Amino acid sequence: MIADYLKDLVTRHREDYRAGAVATYIPELAKVDPALLGIAIAFQDGRVVTAGDAQVTFAIESISKTVVLSLALLDRGEETVFRHMREEPSGDAFNSIVKLQTGSAHVPSNPYINAGAILTSSLIKGATPDERFGRVLDFMRKISETDDLDLDRETYLSEKATGDTNRALAWMMKSYGDIDGDVEDILDVYFRQCSIRVTAVALAKIGRFFAAGGVLSDGRRVLSVREARIVVGLMTTCGLYNGTGTYMVDVGVPTKSGVGGGLLAAYSGVGGIGTFSPALDAVGNSVAGMRMMDDLAEQLGLDVLMPTVDASKLK
């Protein structure tokens, strides 16, 4: 039943990409076919159901912030991670410098805007950028239960060549004493984490991990319940940039987006959902991905505010 429904869902939304456009400010992302569309659900019972282009690889981009936040919490602890960062929506664009300059504390509003994500990357343990990125990649492979995730070098070089706004954010945080270490080394890790190639299936499995409170499908605990709650809680309030509020009212499922066209969603008791469609709205979120999530949440009763999950539809 659910497999047929996902196929119908992809067919119904196949043309929705026409309402958006691929990201062009990172040249490599501009080359992606906007008509690609895929979805995957990784259930808590171990099943993975897919439809469409769910196995096509793409750059994870800002969805990586959930993974790196998890690793930073493990490496440094909650108190250290949020010593120079808040846990609130910013109200500004994801790459805005305004709050850093005008806010009374001069710190990022949350770990899912670029400034906060760069700060989070600076907290990953390792003696060199290569070692720190290697730990990020290994951790992402672990919680996605996908061993072949890897860096897309072309996207990484494209990110690095066009990342001047991120450099401005990093240097301003350095000037306020919010981050330690070599700025270019920190940015190198950040650019690389955003350039890891994933699939909708891998995102669904990461979503399942968070939905299970930081536990892998084989029962191994990786994050504490508190740490998983931090990651998912911030997805609920800050996961889709300035579109988060409307999305949570309409869809009601904790979700993180990336400008590569992915969505990662986590729903406790069900599992994780991953979608891929690279055409974005004006805020930077996947148009077709959000529309599929809206239909899926309504069909299955996935709403964290008013949960009405119909188990018979999950078969």
Residues catalogued as catalytic: 62, 65, 190, 241, 259
Alpha carbons within 13 A on the beta-carbon side of 100: 28
Q: Which amino acid is at 43?
A: F
Q: Which residues contact 11 (CB under 8 A, 6 or more apart)?
A: none
DSSP result, 92-150: S-TT--HHHHHSSS---S-TTSHHHHHHHHHTS--SSHHHHHHHHHHHHHHHHT-TT-E
Contacts of 182 (CB under 8 A, 6+ apart): none
Count the helices and strands in the chain (H runs, E runs): 13, 8
How far is the C-alpha of 311 from the C-alpha of 308, rounded, in Å?
9
Q: 235 in the Ramachandran plot: left (φ > 0), alpha (ψ -120 to 50) or beta?
A: alpha
Torsion sign over Cα 252, 258, 259, 260: negative
**Residues in Cβ contact with 222 at an 8 Å cutoff, skipping those fewer than 6 apart:** 70, 74, 142, 143, 209, 214, 215, 216
- Answer whether 250's CB lies under 8 Å from 296's CB: no
